[in-house]
């Protein structure tokens, strides 16, 4: 087990024994005041003892824990000593009274030793350098020597030991030298205390790591309670004519120092320490200056109106109230520049960008670059949340994925408008302040993105309308070509065939004329339907019947196999036009003996296959009928495949999507 931890485990029972001795003294002879002081001292020592033990357990190789326990033990020692002195006046027969009377005359220096040692070795339990060993020797040796010198001083003891005989005596010739040495030790000890405090400052300046700097800042924050206690003392005597607030300040100090020290050692990244120091220093300075204003105003007004006049108090209060807001703002800026430069840099950069944007000299989209520079984070991103969108986007519209990075949400008017995403580790509190300060700029950029997107969508809509008009004209062209035109072509071919057989008497003219008139009527009807954007009327009874009617008009035997009759309208129309165009091309260009048409459905796909036994060699050429057919199939979300090897016939296969 590490030596510092063993020391802590040894101190714990000793502190317990000391506390128990105080309880016994309070019972057998302590007066009410001393007993109350002992209870208060033991209570104030409890945080240091408990938290010191915690640090010793968690950091067994560091002496910070035992020293923190010693800081608490000194409070118990002082109050137990006062309680013992009080008990001696009631019970003069208590043991060691003469020894305690002699040694207690100069033991006050030891009260400062644990805190001074803690400052020397904080935060890692080691001295700033080998040369600092003299400080340890001085802090331990000077108080011991001073205590011995005061014990040999023949002068009267402090109350209540005025009548106690001196236990230690020294020949008269040595007394002047003894007193000179004793007086000389006072500035030496003060210098040691100053050196201990300077060790913290020196260590901070030499340290470059963020972790150690944060630990030292936490320690300094706890130590800042000491001067704040002096301010409370001033305010207490100024307003209450007594030390009531001083006790509260001492209690706060007894709690703040061990808590800050423990956080510094164990969880220094728990909170933004720079922000905490900035706030503490700002309000400490504001309090000190306002107390000065109040004191001066009350004194000056009291010269004319009387010292106890309410006019003096009212004047002092009015001056303090008038000075509070501007004073706090100016002090906050000064303190931030000195103690919290990152915050000052960020807020100043945002404010300057806001002013330049208002003056038309900058664009609000520069916020991301500004924050990257101020926070020294080249990977920082500013994301904007658009209405109805679940993801963040940057100023260009590209998505921003926070991942596991540090994120500060930006809110304005109760709504989430964006976020600032750190690219490296940093202060969460500082990022929140940046988000709050830049909220207005982020809202402006967000609105500009929305306007830009709306304009883009309007332009895209106009383009789509133009494209739709063009596609509609293409569709009408294909419908005319694949529908009514094919019917008229078939009719012309039938008329030409009848013309060839008029002279041999094998043609029934009246029947043919009736049939041709009917075909022309159907073609006219289809043209009217196409003009109104409707499908061919033959599809009214289903794709199968429409293909039967279409096959009956082809002068070549057609084999039909339709196993998908119940199709959506758009799919049925596309399948019909595929079959019509494929059969027309076969009759027109291939001269086949037979044509086969097969329509099948498998799940959400419909397949149309048109084959012939012609010579093959067909291909899809731009501007030809098959090219238009391929466009139609593609527009429907399908695919057209052509297989036409020379001498092997032709197979046209169209695969169309069909929702279940």
DSSP-assigned letter for residue 653: E
Is 621 or 581 the better-scoring residue by pLDDT? 581
DSSP-based three-state secondary structure for 660: coil
Q: Phi/psi at 52 (nearest 5 deg)? A: -65, -40
Is 462 or 370 the better-scoring residue by pLDDT? 370
Is the distance from CB of 426 to CB of 377 less than 8 angstroms? Answer: yes
Whether residue 100 has pLDDT greater than 90: no
**595-602 and 558-562 beta bridge pairing:** parallel
Q: What is the pLDDT of residues 272-300, one digit of tens each?
A: 555 555 565 555 566 666 556 556 655 55
Q: What is the pLDDT of residues 531-550, one digit of tens each?
A: 555 566 777 788 888 888 88
Q: Phi/psi at 413 (nearest 5 deg)? A: 65, 30
Question: What are 415's strand-pairing partners?
Answer: 412
**Of 462-466, 515-519, 586-590, 629-633, which gets the smallest average pLDDT?**
462-466
Contacts 24+ apart (CB under 8 A), 323-327: 323/289, 323/290, 323/293, 324/286, 324/290, 327/286, 327/289, 327/290
pLDDT at 311: 43
For the four alpha carbons of 289, 294, 299 and 303, in that order, the dihedral sign comes to: positive
Pick from 165, 168, 175, 164: which is nearest to 151 by CA? 168
pLDDT at 654: 92
Question: Rounded to whole angstroms, how far apart are CA atoms 597 and 585?
Answer: 13
Question: Rounded to whole angstroms, how far apart are CA atoms 564 and 552?
Answer: 20
Is the distance from CB of 88 to CB of 160 less than 8 angstroms? Answer: yes
Question: Rounded to whole angstroms, how far apart are CA atoms 231 and 236?
Answer: 8
**Of 174-178, 447-451, 503-507, 569-573, which gets the smallest average pLDDT?**
503-507
Range with top average pLDDT, 250-259, 513-522, 599-608: 599-608
pLDDT at 292: 61
Whether residue 398 has pLDDT greater than 80: yes
Q: What is the token pair recorded at 393? A: 């986007």
Whether residue 393 has pLDDT greater than 70: yes
Place of tokens 């004519």: 241
Question: Rounded to whole angstroms, how far apart are CA atoms 276 and 266?
Answer: 18
Is the distance from CB of 270 to CB of 264 less than 8 angstroms? Answer: no
DSSP code string of 162-222: TTSPPS----GGGHHHHHHHHHHHHHHHHHHHHHHHHHHHHHHHH---HHHHHHHHHHHHH
Is 383 or 428 the better-scoring residue by pLDDT? 383
DSSP-based three-state secondary structure for 600: strand
pLDDT at 230: 59
Question: Rounded to whole angstroms, how far apart are CA atoms 184 and 198?
Answer: 21
Question: Rounded to whole angstroms, how far apart are CA atoms 632 and 576?
Answer: 11
DSSP-based three-state secondary structure for 157: coil
Question: Rounded to whole angstroms, how far apart are CA atoms 152 and 105?
Answer: 10
- Work out the number of other CB atoms within 10 angstroms of the CB of residue 359: 8
Q: Is 173 exposed, middle or buried (0-12, 13-18, 19+ CB in 10 A)?
A: exposed
**Three-state secondary structure readout of 497-533:** HHHHCCCCCCCCHHHHHHHHHHHHHHHHHHHHHHHCC
Average pLDDT estimate for 369-379:
85
**Three-state secondary structure readout of 73-135:** HHHHHHHHHHHHHHHHHHCCCCCCHHHHHHHCCCHHHHHCHHHHHHHHHCCCCCCCCHHHHHH
Is the distance from CB of 14 to CB of 6 less than 8 angstroms? Answer: no
- Work out the number of other CB atoms within 10 angstroms of the CB of residue 59: 19
pLDDT at 608: 92
Question: Rounded to whole angstroms, how far apart are CA atoms 586 and 594?
Answer: 9
Q: What mean pLDDT is reported for the chain?
A: 76
Whether residue 465 has pLDDT greater than 60: no
Question: What are 416's strand-pairing partners?
Answer: 411
Question: Rounded to whole angstroms, how far apart are CA atoms 598 and 611?
Answer: 9
Is 197 or 562 the better-scoring residue by pLDDT? 562
Q: Phi/psi at 486 (nearest 5 deg)? A: -65, -35
Is the distance from CB of 246 to CB of 232 less than 8 angstroms? Answer: yes
Is the distance from CB of 626 to CB of 584 less than 8 angstroms? Answer: no
Domains and CATH numbers, the chain: 1-94 (no CATH), 97-206 (no CATH), 209-271 (no CATH), 273-339 (no CATH), 342-455 (no CATH), 554-660 (3.30.565.10)
Q: Phi/psi at 594 (nearest 5 deg)? A: -140, 155
DSSP-based three-state secondary structure for 146: helix
Average pLDDT estimate for 176-181:
80
Average pLDDT estimate for 562-587:
85
Question: Rounded to whole angstroms, how far apart are CA atoms 367 and 347?
Answer: 12
For residue 306, name the pLDDT band (cuts at 50, 70, 90): very low
Residues 6+ apart with CB under 8 A from 609: 596, 597, 598, 599, 600, 651, 652, 653
Share of the chain above pLDDT 90, in %: 2
Whether residue 228 has pLDDT greater than 70: no
**639-643 and 650-657 beta bridge pairing:** antiparallel
């Amino acid at each position: 087990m590490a030596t510092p931890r063993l020391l802590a485990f040894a101190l714990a029972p000793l502190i317990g024994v000391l506390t128990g001795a105080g309880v016994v003294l309070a019972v057998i002879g302590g007066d009410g005041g001393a007993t109350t002081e002992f209870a208060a001292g033991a209570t104030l020592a409890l945080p240091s003892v408990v938290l010191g033990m915690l640090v010793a357990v968690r950091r067994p190789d560091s002496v910070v824990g035992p020293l923190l326990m010693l800081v608490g033990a000194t409070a118990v020692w002082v109050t137990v000593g006062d309680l013992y002195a009080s008990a001696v006046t009631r019970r003069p027969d208590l043991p060691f009274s003469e020894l305690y009377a002699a040694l207690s005359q100069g033991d006050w220096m030891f009260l400062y030793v644990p805190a001074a040692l803690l400052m020397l070795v904080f935060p890692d339990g080691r001295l700033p350098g080998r040369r600092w060993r003299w400080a340890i020797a001085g802090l331990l040796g000077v108080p011991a020597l001073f205590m011995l010198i005061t014990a040999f001083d023949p002068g009267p003891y402090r109350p209540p030991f005025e009548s106690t005989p001196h236990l230690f005596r020294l020949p008269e010739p040595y007394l002047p030298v003894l007193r000179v040495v004793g007086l000389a030790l006072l500035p030496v000890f003060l210098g040691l205390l100053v050196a201990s405090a300077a060790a913290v400052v020196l260590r901070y300046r030499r340290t470059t790591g963020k972790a150690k700097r944060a630990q030292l800042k936490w320690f300094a924050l706890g130590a800042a309670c000491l001067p704040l206690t002096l301010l409370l003392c001033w305010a207490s005597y100024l307003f209450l004519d007594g030390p009531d607030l001083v006790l509260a300040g001492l209690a706060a100090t007894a709690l703040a120092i061990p808590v800050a020290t423990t956080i510094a050692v164990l969880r220094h990244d728990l909170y933004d320490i720079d922000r905490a120091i900035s706030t503490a220093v700002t309000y400490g300075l504001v309090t000190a200056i306002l107390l000065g204003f109040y004191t001066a105003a009350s004194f000056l007004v009291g010269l004319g109106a009387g010292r106890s006049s309410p006019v003096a108090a009212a004047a002092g209060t009015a001056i303090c109230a008038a000075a509070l807001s501007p004073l706090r703002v100016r002090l906050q800026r000064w303190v931030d520049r000195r103690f919290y430069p990152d915050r000052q840099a960020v807020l100043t950069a945002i404010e300057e960008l806001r002013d330049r944007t208002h003056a038309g000299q900058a664009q609000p989209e520069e916020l991301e670059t500004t924050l990257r520079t101020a926070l020294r984070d080249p990977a920082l991103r500013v994301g904007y949340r658009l209405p109805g969108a679940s993801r963040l986007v940057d100023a260009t519209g590209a998505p921003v994925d926070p991942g596991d990075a540090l994120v500060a949400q930006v809110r304005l008017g109760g709504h989430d408008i964006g976020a600032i995403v750190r690219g490296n580790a940093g202060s969460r509190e500082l990022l929140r302040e940046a988000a709050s300060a830049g909220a207005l700029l982020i809202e402006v950029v967000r609105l500009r993105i929305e306007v830009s997107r709306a304009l883009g969508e309007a332009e895209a809509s106009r383009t789509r309308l133009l494209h739709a008009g063009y596609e509609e004209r293409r569709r009408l062209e294909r419908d005319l070509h694949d529908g009514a035109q094919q019917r008229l072509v078939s009719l012309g071919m039938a008329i030409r065939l009848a013309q060839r057989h008029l002279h041999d008497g094998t043609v029934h003219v009246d029947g043919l004329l009736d049939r041709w008139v009917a075909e022309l009527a159907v073609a006219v009807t289809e043209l009217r339907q196409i003009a109104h954007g409707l499908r061919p009327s033959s599809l009214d009874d289903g794709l199968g019947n429409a293909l039967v009617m279409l096959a009956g008009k082809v002068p070549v035997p057609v084999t039909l196999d339709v196993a998908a009759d119940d199709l959506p309208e758009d799919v049925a129309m596309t399948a019909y036009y595929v079959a019509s165009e494929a059969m027309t091309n076969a009759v027109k260009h291939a001269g086949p003996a037979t044509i086969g048409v097969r329509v099948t459905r498998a799940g959400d796909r419909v397949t149309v296959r048109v084959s012939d036994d012609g010579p093959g060699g067909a291909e899809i050429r731009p501007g030809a009928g098959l090219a238009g057919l391929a466009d139609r199939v593609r527009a429907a979300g399908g695919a057209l495949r052509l297989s036409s090897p020379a001498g092997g016939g032709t197979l046209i296969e169209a695969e169309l999507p069909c929702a279940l």
